[in-house]
Structure 1
Amino acid sequence: MLPINLLVELGILSLVLMLTRFAALGRKLAVTTLVLLALAASSPLGNLLLYPLESRFPPWDASRGAPDGIIVLGGSVDTDLSAAHRTPVVSHAADRLLAAAELARRYPNARIVFTGGTANLVSTESREADYSAPILEGLGIPRERLILERDSRNTWENAIFTKQLVAQKPGERWLLVTSAFHMPRSMGIFRTAEFDVEAYPVDWRMGGRDDLFTFTRVSGDGLARVDVAVREWIGLLTYRVMGRTGELLPGPGKD
């Protein structure tokens, strides 16, 4: 459960309790909820949770030479809204798509793979890869260069299905493009899947160490950072317990 959802539910529960013989408990819970909400919205909490994730992998070193392939993880396009409006709708993490276009121009011989199906629990015909393809074409990548993986529902399946699709040859170098906060979990998963990739982080949500103790002036931004960070830490813990990563917080070295 994400922090903002939990705080809303605690707030509702406190109001309900105030109407019962547990009114005193309800008032205490309401005060606690407001304090937690203020911390999440305005304090450096989100930055403190995000920094270990976003700083884990450094920017990719282009001096090593051209890659053989570029893998772009889904997560930018809202498939439900895209289906409703019959046009691609980018809801967040647009940097993943922009970086793919820039890398494709820089390395014209590299294979470009976009991997993303749908995260919906109920089966749907809407696939993120289908809506991302025209965006990438519009950014200058010819359709014949795109390899689309449209069946994955999560990062684990991104790795497994992409590995099967491209059949990486010994010595080939592949870049993995995803949000900086998502890179540790993604790299750990690809290593467990025995798909050797190099991290190409994008889509940072904070500036760096100087922002660690900065208070947020826009409450919505603070809540968003806390939600993103907590969700990712939960994902890291879950995938480690499931054996899909070799350590809790994968880093630049091998697991």
Structure 2
Amino acid sequence: MLPINLLIELGIISVVLMATRFAGLGRKLAATTLVLLALAAFSPLGNLVLYPLESRFPPWDPSRGAPDGIIVLGGSVDTDLSAAHNTPVVPRAADRLFAAAELARRFPNARVVFTGGSASLVMGAAREADYSAPILENLGIPKDRLILERNSRNTYENAIFTKQLVQPKPGERWLLVTSAFHMPRSVGIFRKAGFDVEAYPVDWRMGGRDDLFSFTNYGTEGLNRTDVAAREWIGLVAYRLMGRTSDLLPGPAKD
């Protein structure tokens, strides 16, 4: 359960309790909820839990030479909104698409894969790959160069289906483009699937170590960082328990 959802539910429970013989408990719960909400919204809490994720992988080092392939994970395009308006809608993580286009331009011989279907439990006709492809084409990647994986519903399926699609050969070097906070779990999943990738983190949500103890004037920003970090930590724990990663917090490969 994400922090903002939990706090809302606690607030509702406190209001209900205050209408019963447990009014005292309700008032205490309401006060506690307000304090927790303020911490999540304005304190450095979100930065403190987000920083270990975003700083886990350094920027990619191009000195090793050109990669053989570029994989960009979905998560930028809202498929439901895109289908409703019949045009790609990108409410978040647009850096993933921009970075893929820039890498494709720099390395014209690299294969380019976009992997993303629909996160809905019941997958409909709208697939993220279908709406992301025109964006990547408009950013300069020729249509015949794009490889689309459009059936995956989560990061685990991104790794499994992409490996089946491209069948990487031993010695090939593939870049993985995704948000910095999402990179540890993504790399861990790809490794467990037997697909070695090199991290190309983008879409940072904080500046770095200097922001660790920074307060924010905008509660929505703090709540967003706290929610993003909590969701990712929950995912890391869940995927480790399910055996989909080998480490709780995957990091760079050891030479």
* TM-score (norm: length of structure 1): 0.99
Q: Helix, strand or coil: the match of 2:6?
A: helix
1:140 is matched with 140
Question: Are 1:161 and 2:143 counterparts?
Answer: no
Q: Offset at 1:253?
A: 2.3
Query: Alignment identity in percent?
Result: 82
Alignment of 1:69-148 (within 5 A): 69-148=69-148
Structure 2 residue 8 is the aligned partner of structure 1 residue 5: no
SS of the residue 2:176 aligns to: strand
Question: C-alpha separation between the residues in 2 aligned to 1:144 and 1:65?
Answer: 24
Distance in 2 (CA, whole Å) between partners of 1:39 and 1:60 is 34
User: What are the ranges of 5 or more consecutive residues in structure 1 without an aligned counterpart?
Assistant: none
Distance 1:121 1:37 in 2: 30
**1:15 alignment partner in structure 2:** 15
Question: Deviation of residue 122 (structure 1)?
Answer: 2.0
Q: CA RMSD in A?
A: 0.6
Letter of the 1:235 partner, please give it.
G
Q: Which position in structure 2 is the counterpart of 1:223?
A: 223
> In the aligned structure 2, how far is the partner of 1:195 from the partner of 1:137?
26
SS, match of residue 225 in structure 1: helix
Give me the whole-angstrom Cα distance separating, in 2, the residues matched to 1:193 and 1:85. 36
Deviations along 1:121-180, whole A, 9 cap, x unmatched?
Answer: 122111000000001011111100100000000000000000000010111110000000
Question: Which whole-Å CA distance do the structure 1 matches of 2:126 and 2:253 have between them?
Answer: 37
SS of aligned partner of 1:148: strand
**What pairs up with 1:46-61 in 2 under 5 angstroms?**
46-61=46-61
Q: Which residue of 2 aligns with 1:244?
A: 244
Task: Give SS of 2:177's match.
Answer: strand
Q: How many residue pairs get matched?
A: 254
Greater than 6 Å deviation, 4+ residue runs:
none
Structure 2 unaligned segments of length 5 or more: list them: none
Q: Give, in whole Å, the separation in 2 of the partners of 1:59 and 1:123.
A: 34
What letter corresponds to residue 102 of structure 1 in structure 2? E
TM-score (norm 2): 0.99
> In structure 2, what is the Cα distance between the partners aligned to 1:157 and 1:122?
15
Q: Give 2:82's aligned amino acid.
A: S
State the alpha-carbon separation in 2 of the partners of residues 173 and 77 from structure 1.
27
